[in-house]
Structure 1
Amino acid sequence: MILEFADIRIQPGQNAAFDEAIQRGVETVIAKSPGFRGYKVNRGIESPERYLLMIYWETLDNHMKDFREGPLFPQWRAIVGPFFAAPPVVEHFDLVARST
């Protein structure tokens, strides 16, 4: 399983609307993509305009090819993109260890 980690900064004062938009975008758009296995969103305490979006994919290709190069990506960006203060920083991670 692959973890996509997106560090998102939004425009000040948009938290309530973005909270709704990111959840709706993941659950109605990204969740339809092949290989999607779940997600988590965290909002910064010290920096409330900073969000960490973690999406679990079966494979890296599920994210990079199936989603990013497919028809769902523009739909996702139409929902969340207007809130962005800067382009998100996205990286991918392999699981090394976990608690039980």
Structure 2
Amino acid sequence: MIYEIAVLPVHKERTEAFKQAFAAVAPLLTRAKGYGGHLLSPGIETPERFNLIVRWASLEDHTPGFEVSEDHRIFMLGLEEYFSEEPTVYHIEGGTF
């Protein structure tokens, strides 16, 4: 089991609009091969920094899989206007929680 962890810095004044935009594009993520669930949550101390954790069956399902897809391109187009800086993405391996 692989977890993608993405830190998504959002303009402070746009956090509510970002949540709505994410909900609109989330179906593109959830239909990806190897997708196993996700959690999107703002930080407690930094509510403008959202943490996205996505469970993937394998690293290849996320990258190159989803990341090179047309769904990913549209997913990012729906969110990029809300980012205050470039998101940070990394992966960890572990069991289900």
TM-score normalised by structure 1 residue count: 0.89
For structure 1, which runs of at least 5 residues remain unmatched after alignment? none
For structure 2, which runs of at least 5 residues remain unmatched after alignment? none
Distance 1:67 1:33 in 2: 6
Greater per-residue helix proportion:
2
Shift of 1:20: 1.3
- Pairwise CA RMSD of aligned residues? 1.4
Kindly indicate whether residue 39 of structure 2 is the aligned counterpart of residue 40 of structure 1: yes
Aligned residues: 97
Which residue identity is paired with 2:4?
E
Counterparts in 2 of 1:97 and 1:34: CA distance versus 1, 3 Å = closer
How does 1:5-84 map onto structure 2 within 5 Å?
Answer: 5-26=5-26, 28-84=27-83
For 1:29, what is the secondary structure of its paired residue? helix
For 2:12, what is the secondary structure of its paired residue? coil
Higher mean alpha-carbon deviation, 88-97 vs 53-62, is at 88-97
For 2:79, what is the secondary structure of its paired residue? helix
TM-score normalised by structure 2 residue count: 0.92
